[in-house]
Chains A and B, each alone.
Chain A
Amino acid sequence: MSDRPLGLASQSNVSPLARLLIALRLDPPLVFGIALVCAVGVMVLYSAGGRSMELLLQHGLRLAVGLGVMLLAAQIPPRNLRLWTPWIYTAGLALLVWVLVAGQVSGGAQRWIDLGFVTFQPSEAMKIAVPMMVAWYLGDRSLPPSIWRVLVALLLIAVPSVLVAREPDLGTALLIGSAGAFALFLAGMGWRLIGTLLIAAAASVPVLWHIMRDYQRRRVLTFLDPESDPLGAGYHIIQSKIAIGSGGLYGKGWLNGTQSHLDFLPERSTDFIFAVFGEEFGLFGGVLLLALYVFVIGRALYIAGQAQDSYGRLLAGSLALTFFVYVFVNIGMVTGLLPVVGVPLPLVSYGGTSMVTLLCAFGIIMSIRSHKRLLAL
């Protein structure tokens, strides 16, 4: 039952680099995929940021921190993680409440906590803590879960989601909610229940509409008809569609995007960076990047499938699928398929916390891969 890096380490037909990665409890194919996506990100960011070295350095620094966190997370045995899960979840929830209270004092959207040496968003941590909690709760008993356990799990998901949505940060709330939901789904919750919940969700749309803030409603309306406000809320979508569409099959070439370099494209370093990519690398580039993402997600799902216990399976699986939600929602919104919600393009967009969270999640997935117990059967 010793925890040791498992897999191909003992085999001789692997490269020294792969052997090193395995020794570090990392998964070489996943690292390879992530590294490629990150490389694309650095390239696009260099272009989107107007060749700003400063921006690139900042991004590199965060990437380095993220990789460090990933390496660290890979060292934590899932067993320990599972033991800490309720505490992590509870602490996260407490911080969320605290942020909301503090936010009310200062007014406006308050998501940050200043820890003195670093600021961080508790809502980011919840993206991992919620699927962990659901996996912990459901994985404890035999699967598929009973309806009562499903309802409890739903509550575990809903509380932090609603808290985050009230910050208000719809994008993150969506990601937290879907991460938990994926864990539930993968745990085998009944199809009938899923159908019922979906119908209930559809029915609650009018209620949601009522709860939504003005700017959130405007976003939805603008999504439905961007041309209605071409200089205001619709401007982002129109300009980003122009950027992507004018990229054509092969793109305008790296650093040659006119939309982005002439400042027509807003938020081109962060949420709308895919528009810069699409403009400069065209349809082929876009499909290639999607393929990279699919590879990363597929590998993560494969790892989840190979995991030995329910906790690991559910956690790795839901993290992998959440990563997919990032990709789909971001590209969907930039191409005008979905409303504009603040979801970054994972591993590419400029922005610290999400990068660290994502790499931490991959660290956990790799830890699940590398900490396999040898079952003496």
Chain B
Amino acid sequence: MAGSDRLRDHEHEGRLFRRRAAVAALGGALLVAALVARLFFLQYISYGHYTTLSNDNRVRIEATAPTRGLIRDRNGTILAENLPSFSLQLVPERVDDLDDTLKRLHKLVDFDEQDVERLRDAWTRARPFEGVPLRFRLTPNEVARVSVNRNRFPGVDIVAGLTRHYPFGRTASHALGYVGRIDDDDLDRLDSSDYRATTHVGKLGIEYEYESLLHGHPGFRRVEVNVQGRVLRVLDEQPPKPGHDLELTLDLDLQRTAERLLGDQDGAVVALDPRNGQVLALASTPTFDPNLFVNGIGRKAYAKLRDSPHRPLFNRAIRGQYPPGSTIKPFVALNGLDSGEQKRDDTIKCRGYYRLDGSGRVYRDWKAHGRVDLAAAITQSCDVMFYDLALRLGIDRLSSFLRRFGFGQPTGIDIPGERPGLVPDPEWKERTRGEPWYKGETLIHGIGQGYLTVTPMQLATAVSMIANHGRPVRPHLLRDASGDEDVPQANRKPVVPKLRMDHPSDWQYVIDAMIGVTRGKHGTARAIHWHSPHIIAGKTGTAQVFSLHGGQYDADEVAADLRDHALFIAFAPADAPRIAVAVVVENGGSGSHAAAPVAQKLIDAWLGPKALPGEVQEASR
């Protein structure tokens, strides 16, 4: 084919080609250089940056939840524990269609709208590839059903964990409180890094108060994950630090006794060790099962608890504010003696009523006691004596003295929600009601009526002060925490200073009068004496709920919820007190009938059915 048309200069064409090829090779070399430069930039200059990104990709730090500390009573009986359980969790990144998944899942597992609502809330907050719980405490059947169908539910996992359990259910629930699912409010309050893996937090009672001790600290696992977020292997691991076990001052047996004694009445019992303020029993009836709250109580069940007229969720022992009634009399008596307004020998003639000078208004006593001295007035609960004494003391002196027993402010017990009660004075009345103080109000103040309100916890703390001859205590529930030397001892400081009397023997005078209440011939709670071997110093109280407007009180004619509250305060043995008790039975009628026997039986349960050695059996007064 050579030289077919015109002669071609092959040599020239070859040179032309080689020139062009050289240009191409040069261009190619430049481009290769660009690639090498690019690689150099990525792999040398930006190496650190991309290494970090690569590790971020593959390594995830997962928090592991600490085991919550156990709660025991003073004898080591477990009141709150952790039981193994299975929960159902969904991983947002791996669930394509949430609605559809939930719809299909509902055929296998029972959950309600509230569970779904909570899931959707947490859905947006979840960290990448972190499971969001839908249901806790799956039944074995549910676990089996979901496990068998797992392939149909990508992103749905069954996760083994621990769930809080209160083995004694309703018992002591007002003291223990409960844990519940962490909600938005909790998130604001808690250190979120400490709670990364935690699903539950203390909501009430001891569980709330000592959350920081009970919770512990989370551990961490560095895990290698693939692009689906599935954990392939654990690179290293720091185990969580479990929470501290708590030992409470409560005695489970005494607690159960207290709740049993209250029975189906609404009321509260507080039993303290007056020597140190340890709470031996803290009962508020009706009570509730804290286990219901752990994994979210259903709307219906909650509404039932909330709307019950007996208010089972209301902790009467620290939140119930009651007029103390006659239980205030020993304190008023001490004020009289301390101020010198009342001598031990001074007597008054009680005709069964008291006429206030000037106004001419008549204040009734529950009966005519005849001539009584201060001790007899306590023993027999004579109102006239205390009307008179209160008037002589005046409202300012009386109120400030009562405050020295801790009335009118929280006792500082180590569970949340305590109420302060109210010790009124003219300034308070002016401020809150814009009205002046009336003398008649001072008068009824002397028998614990009117604006004066106290909590059962305050009564128990105050009566402990009498038992201690003025030494105050701070009630508390926590006795010890495992492995921790910093049990908040600061919380043990009483909120009021020691109360000193000019004549220390006045303490014994009042205590003797209180012994007379249970042992004296005219003692309002003398029925106790027939049953108890112990020398109990006590005082009955009956707080009016319903104003009688001068009419005669007849329990049978007054509706149950308007009946008087029955109160009783006591401590025993009187000469070396080991237990102080305050009992309030709402609408129970009279203190001597409804409240005193509760206190007596509780004291007997604590001290035993026999008199203690050295317990002096005094002659009846």
Which residues of A are in contact with B by a Cβ distance under 8 Å?
141-144, 182, 185-188, 239, 241-249, 258-259, 262-264, 278, 282-283, 286-287, 290, 294, 297-298, 301, 304-305, 309-310, 313-314, 317, 321, 324, 328, 331-332, 335-337
Contacts and interface: CB of A to CB of B under 8 A. Distances in A.
Q: Most chain-B Cβ atoms within 10 A of its Cβ — which of A262, A298, A331?
A: A262
A298 B24 CA distance: 11
Interface in B211-243: 224-228, 232
A283 B43 CA distance: 6
A248 B42 CA distance: 8
Q: Most chain-A Cβ atoms within 10 A of its Cβ — which of B6, B10, B25, B49?
A: B25
B16 to A, nearest CB: 4
B57 A298 contact: no
Contacts of A313: 13-14, 17
A142 B39 contact: no
Nearest to B20: A186
B42 A335 contact: yes
Nearest to B6: A142
B50 A246 contact: yes
B70 to A, nearest CB: 40
Contact of B225 (A239, A262, A336): A262
Interface of B: 5-6, 8-10, 13-14, 16-18, 20-21, 24-25, 28, 31-32, 34-36, 38-40, 42-44, 46-47, 49-51, 53-54, 57-58, 224-228, 232
Nearest to A313: B17
Contacts of B21: 186, 301, 304-305, 317
A249 B39 contact: no
A241 B42 contact: yes
B321 to A, nearest CB: 59
Contacts of B53: 242, 245-246
Contact of A246 (B18, B51, B224): B51
16 contacts: A185-B24, A186-B24, A245-B50, A246-B51, A246-B53, A248-B44, A258-B224, A262-B224, A290-B32, A290-B35, A313-B13, A317-B21, A321-B24, A332-B38, A335-B35, A337-B38
Nearest to A279: B54
A263 B57 CA distance: 10
B227 A263 contact: yes
Contacts of B9: 142
B549 to A, nearest CB: 77
Given A143-B13, A188-B20, A317-B17, A262 B35 contact: no
Contacts of A243: 54
Contacts of A182: 24
B20 A286 contact: no
A332 B25 contact: no
Nearest to B46: A245
| Minimum-distance CB pairs A-B, first 8 | A245-B50, A246-B54, A263-B227, A283-B43, A245-B42, A262-B226, A246-B50, A188-B16
Where chain B touches its partner, the secondary structure class is helix
Given A258-B54, A304-B21, A337-B34, A264 B227 contact: yes
Contacts of A282: 43
Nearest to B31: A328
B20 A185 contact: yes
Nearest to B37: A337
Contact of A142 (B8, B40, B57, B58): B8
A313 B12 CA distance: 13
A67 B42 CA distance: 35
Contacts of B24: 182, 185-186, 301, 317, 321
A142 B31 contact: no
Contacts of A297: 28
Contacts of B25: 298, 301
A280 B47 CA distance: 13
Contacts of B46: 245
Given A186-B24, A278-B39, 14 more contacts: A142-B6, A142-B9, A143-B17, A185-B20, A188-B13, A241-B42, A247-B43, A249-B44, A258-B57, A258-B58, A263-B228, A278-B42, A304-B17, A337-B34
Contacts of B18: 305
Contacts of A249: 43-44, 47
Nearest to A321: B24
A309 B53 CA distance: 54
B7 to A, nearest CB: 9
A140 to B, nearest CB: 9
B548 to A, nearest CB: 77
B270 to A, nearest CB: 60
A88 to B, nearest CB: 19
Contact of B13 (A142, A244, A259, A301): A142
Contact of A331 (B14, B35, B44, B232): B35
A332 B42 CA distance: 12
A329 B197 CA distance: 47
Contacts of B13: 142-143, 188, 310, 313
B556 to A, nearest CB: 77
A92 B66 CA distance: 70
A248 B32 contact: no
B227 A262 contact: yes
B228 A248 contact: no
B39 A241 contact: no
Contacts of B36: 286-287, 290
A287 to B, nearest CB: 6
Given A263-B228, A264-B227, A245 B47 contact: yes
B39 A286 contact: yes
Contacts of B43: 244-245, 247-249, 278, 282-283, 286
A309 B2 CA distance: 10
A144 B225 contact: no
B17 A262 contact: no
A207 to B, nearest CB: 26
Nearest to B45: A245
A305 B32 CA distance: 21
A259 B34 CA distance: 25
Contact of B50 (A244, A305, A324, A332): A244
A309 B39 CA distance: 39
A248 B47 contact: yes
A186 B8 contact: no
Contacts of A298: 25
Contacts of A263: 226-228
B35 A337 contact: yes
A332 B44 contact: no
A331 B34 CA distance: 11
Given A245-B51, A335-B35, A324 B17 contact: no
A367 to B, nearest CB: 18
Contacts of A264: 57-58, 226-227
Nearest to A265: B227
B225 to A, nearest CB: 7
